[in-house]
Amino acid sequence: MPSSTGSLCTRIDLVLSRIVVPLWILTGAVFKLYERVPSNLPKVIFDPAKQHNIDLDVLLRTLIGLEFLAVGVMLFMPRFARAMAIFMLTCFCLILLGEMRVRAEKCGCFGSLPLKPWHMLLIDGSLLAGILICRFWPNAERRAIRPASGSLGKSAIAVVALLIVGLGVAFAVPARPAKVQPPPPIVTTGPNAADDPSANPDPKPVPPFWMTPPDVKVWVGKKWRDLDIFQVMPRWPRNLDHGKHFIVFYKRTCDHCEDMFSKSLIVPLAAPVIAIEIPEDETTKTSPEAWAMPDNVVCEEFLDLPLGCRWTMTTPLTLTIEDGLITCAEEGDFKKCMELQ
């Protein structure tokens, strides 16, 4: 007869594999599907996928569908529940270790909730350890189920059905709608003044998610007006169609951007600089933890991107525009496009 400790381990193993872990995974999947923002993908998945030009929305929904599959297996296929729980938690722990290695600020396990990778590693690691310990505890009750004739075929059919349901739910939820924005008010300086040239007469709807292409150099040779990042701005930099201009997209929590403003943009450069702030998140323009903008910064204009979008780019994002054409594009640095090297 198994000992009382062994029986307790058996019950714990059952509760973890059949209830706690599937509900834990289901909660994370629902959070991610509710937001439907590809930048919530772990950095160790997001960066390689972007570099290989993989559709990140399809990737996100596919991974969510696979999580739904895992939940279905643990809830409705008891024979495979423990194995699936161990497999999923092991995958999560490996991804979280990768996130810690690249120093990711958050893991995206529950969408945009600010959970750090080590927070989730403690939880997922503890759940995995609990299942493994109870699985191999001496005198724990073993419930080996021998597959009956034809049961493997039925199990395969059940897995395929759960996969179809999981992916169906993940892809059935429609994309978040873009936010339609009205034209900005026209600023005039007198009864006979012309319309404000900085106003975008027809700003495009703000998408819920935007990111740079795998290589921003594909923008070189294009007109600045053709870039969607400018098309959604309610106000444009002035005179971009004439002469040379340096455009820098920055974030007030980016340390590299702070160094740029405090060390490099305090003296006049070879062309006027237009600084465009990237909102901290969909509802916040500037984070309360933002660094202070230096007083002696030499910039011709300060503008900002609209709220309502998860702007995803490596800052600073810098462009050189000459007579309306982009001649240099640089993501994550500024020296080349600002002719500082």
Question: Residues 65, 67, 72, 77: what is their CA dihedral angle, to the nearest 10 degrees?
Answer: 130
Range of the domain at 128: 4-172
Asked which of 120, 146, 172 is the last residue of a domain, the reply is: 172
Domain assignment present for residue 193? The answer is no
8 and 96, same domain (yes or no): yes
Per-residue pLDDT tens listing for the chain (341 residues): 445 555 778 788 889 999 999 999 999 999 999 999 998 999 999 999 998 989 999 999 999 999 999 999 999 999 999 999 999 999 999 999 999 999 888 888 998 888 899 999 999 999 999 999 887 776 655 554 455 556 788 889 999 999 999 999 999 999 888 888 877 766 555 444 455 677 888 899 999 999 999 999 999 999 999 999 999 999 899 889 999 999 999 999 999 999 999 999 988 999 999 999 999 988 899 999 899 998 889 999 999 999 999 999 999 999 999 999 999 999 999 999 999 87
What percent of the chain is helix, strand and coil (3-state, nearest 5)? 45, 10, 45
Domain assignment present for residue 280? The answer is yes
Cis amide prior to 177 (ω within 30 degrees): no
160 and 81, same domain (yes or no): yes
**Structural domains of the chain, count:** 2
25 and 156, same domain (yes or no): yes
Domain assignment present for residue 197? The answer is no
pTM above 0.75, yes or no: yes
Q: Which amino acid is at 249?
A: F
Domain assignment present for residue 129? The answer is yes
DSSP state of 223: B
Half-sphere exposure at residue 278, Cβ-oriented, CA atoms within 13 angstroms: 25
26 and 110, same domain (yes or no): yes
17 and 154, same domain (yes or no): yes
9 and 122, same domain (yes or no): yes
Residue 82: both structure tokens together: 């423990």
Domain assignment present for residue 310? The answer is yes
161 and 75, same domain (yes or no): yes
CATH of the domain at 224: 3.40.30
Residue 242: both structure tokens together: 């004439």
Residue 305: both structure tokens together: 């991107």
Cβ distance 321 to 244 under 8 Å? yes
Cβ distance 16 to 10 under 8 Å? no
13 and 86, same domain (yes or no): yes
The rounded distance, in Å, linking the Cα atoms of 64 and 31 is: 10
219 and 167, same domain (yes or no): no
217 and 166, same domain (yes or no): no
